[in-house]
Amino acid sequence: MSTPKKPTPDKRRLTRAVYDAAHADGTDYVIWDTTVPGFGLRVRPSGSKSFTYVYRQHGKLKRVTIKATTPDEARDRAKALMAEVAGGGDPVEAKQDARAEADRRRAVPTVGDVLDSFVENHAKVHLKPKSWGEYARCVERLLKPHIGSLKIDALETKDVSAMYQQLLKQPRRAKKGAKPAPATTQASGAIRVLSSAMSWAEEAGLRPPGSNPARIRLKSSRRRQRLFSDQEVSRMADAAEALASEGKLIPPVVLGIKLLFATGCRAGEICALRWEDVDFEHGLLRWSDSKTGYLEKPMTDEARQLLTDGEREQRIVGVPWVCPSPLSSAKATNGQTRTQPKHIRVETLEAGFERVMSRAAVTAGENASLHLIRHWFATKTYTDKSIPLPVQMAIVGHTSVATAMRYAHVAREELVQAAREAAARRGEAVAAAGKRGQVVKIGEGA
């Protein structure tokens, strides 16, 4: 019995005419080109046509489908593939690697994805509601519009620097009822949030260790230090009393402002202070959930007097807050006291303080805020050399030495006096050396 002969391969120079004339015959066949070995036109039983290039690599036959619209275009591509194989390359393996890399890149999260995850899984868990809310607004309004679409592993320092320059020019925005932050402050704050998020991404294995691209030099806000003088504080105390007597400031706002000066607390801490956390017996004020966690502060004689008077004159039965909202004492339509009394808002206290500053003719420009009171209190405390630093920090309510030093401003008068005294000592040293005919270094004795 004779062995059937193998069909002779169909070989022709592939042209447009050959391409058009090729039709399905119920089999999967190839018309091979006579000019480029391994290049052919594949015709499937369905009638679909495609250009192909076949080569052998390490004894294994491999096939590459060529995407082209004409035989000439496909032939040129086949020649390039043939040259690649001749040079030791493997087009099939290269294509597989490219596909795997593309799949990997698609799986890499974007900066926007990581920022969302950072807010949800870190900021929301470890920060106070107000703080993580600010983080979320910063991410949505400032960061994601600029870099949100970039892949997390592709974000570079140059991208962050370019965004920072854009943010410095961006119109300032603020949540309803609040002042917009200065452009420099807003831009620098956004970079700090991004830096925190990128450090978190490193810990999560989304970026290599030490690759934080947000560690860039930030522009100084150039905001002049503003520290209340004792005379200004005295005038503001008188102004608060005058406004209260005229009925232009409600008692809880007056008490809140006075307590800020007496305690150096944060505005939010005074607003949220409850009577149950005022310990007259031990002379302490307590917050179970302040910005820095559980907090105790000593009650000064001034604060004790303010709270004693406030309890006697302003405390409302059934209302837990030291500085309650006026709505807390209002009656509901059924004649009963409201069941959910609230404390005054920081914005309400802020507005009252602005009126006090205006009446006292105290200006602070864009620096004007309740936090200036805390700056003043902290400066008075930290420049008191009779109090050890740990005690000073406890009085002010700081847990970080670095944070404490940011608040420890030097009063302008002290700065001028210290400079004059140092200059006088230098002059005395030079004069004394001249009389003795000696030469001394300028810095000696200064």
Q: 187-203: per-residue pLDDT in tens? A: 999 999 999 999 999 99
235 in Cβ contact with 361 (< 8 Å):
yes
| CA atoms of 117 and 254, how far apart (whole Å) | 42
User: What residue has token string 């936090």?
Assistant: 371
Q: Is the pLDDT of residue 407 over 70?
A: no
Residues 6+ apart with CB under 8 A from 264: 373, 374, 377, 378, 381, 395, 396, 397
Residues 6+ apart with CB under 8 A from 47: 23, 24
Fold of 230-370: hpI Integrase; Chain A (1.10.443)
Q: Please name which of 163, 117, 109 lies closest in space to residue 141, comparing C-alpha atoms.
A: 163
Between 316 and 188, name the one with better pLDDT.
188
With bands split at pLDDT 50, 70 and 90, how would you rate the model's confidence at 395? confident
Q: How confident is the model at residue 445, as a pLDDT? A: 46
Q: How would you classify the pairing of strands 29-33 and 49-57?
A: unpaired
Between 101 and 355, name the one with better pLDDT.
355
Q: How confident is the model at residue 175, as a pLDDT? A: 55
Q: How many CB atoms lie within 10 A of CB 397?
A: 23
Q: Please tell me whether residue 401 adopts helix, strand or coil conformation.
A: helix
What's the farthest any 2 CA atoms get from each other in the chain?
133
397 in Cβ contact with 290 (< 8 Å):
yes
Q: Is the pLDDT of residue 443 over 60?
A: no
| CA atoms of 28 and 20, how far apart (whole Å) | 17
Residue ranges of domains in the chain:
10-107, 111-203, 230-370
> How confident is the prediction for the chain on average, in pLDDT?
83
Residue type at 271 in one-letter notation: C
Q: Which of 103-117, 227-241, 259-273, 334-348 has the lowest mean pLDDT?
A: 334-348
- Domain 10-107 belongs in CATH node 3.30.160.390: yes
Q: Is the pLDDT of residue 140 over 90?
A: yes
| CA atoms of 141 and 131, how far apart (whole Å) | 15
Q: How confident is the model at residue 288, as a pLDDT? A: 79
Q: Is the pLDDT of residue 41 over 90?
A: yes
Q: How confident is the model at residue 438, as a pLDDT? A: 55
Q: How confident is the model at residue 111, as a pLDDT? A: 94
The dihedral built from the CA positions of residue 395, 399, 400 and 403, taken in this order, carries a sign that is: negative
Q: Which of 8-22, 95-109, 327-341, 422-436 has the lowest mean pLDDT?
A: 327-341
Q: Which of 5-9, 166-170, 272-276, 441-445 has the lowest mean pLDDT?
A: 441-445
Phi, psi at residue 132, to the nearest 5°? -70, -25
Q: Which of 61-75, 81-95, 112-126 has the lowest mean pLDDT?
A: 81-95
Q: Which of 25-34, 395-404, 406-415 has the lowest mean pLDDT?
A: 406-415
Q: Is the pLDDT of residue 312 over 80?
A: yes
With bands split at pLDDT 50, 70 and 90, how would you rate the model's confidence at 437? low
| CA atoms of 33 and 391, how far apart (whole Å) | 91
Q: Is the pLDDT of residue 142 over 70?
A: yes
pTM: 0.55
Q: Which of 251-265, 377-391, 398-412 has the lowest mean pLDDT?
A: 398-412
Q: Which of 78-87, 239-248, 398-407 has the lowest mean pLDDT?
A: 398-407
Strands (DSSP E) along 237-390, which ranges?
Answer: 278-279, 284-290, 293-298
Token pair, residue 326, equals 């006026």
Q: How many CB atoms lie within 10 A of CB 239?
A: 20
Bridge partners of residue 52, in order along the sequence: 40, 65
**CATH code of the domain made up of 111-203:** 1.10.150
Give the distance from CA 142 to its chain's centroid. Answer: 9
Task: Please give the average per-residue pLDDT across 169-190, as a whole number.
Answer: 72
With bands split at pLDDT 50, 70 and 90, how would you rate the model's confidence at 356? very high
Task: Please give the average per-residue pLDDT across 84-105, as a whole number.
Answer: 81
Question: For 144-164, how does the pLDDT look when each residue is reduced to its tens digit (9 = 90+)?
Answer: 999 999 999 899 999 999 999
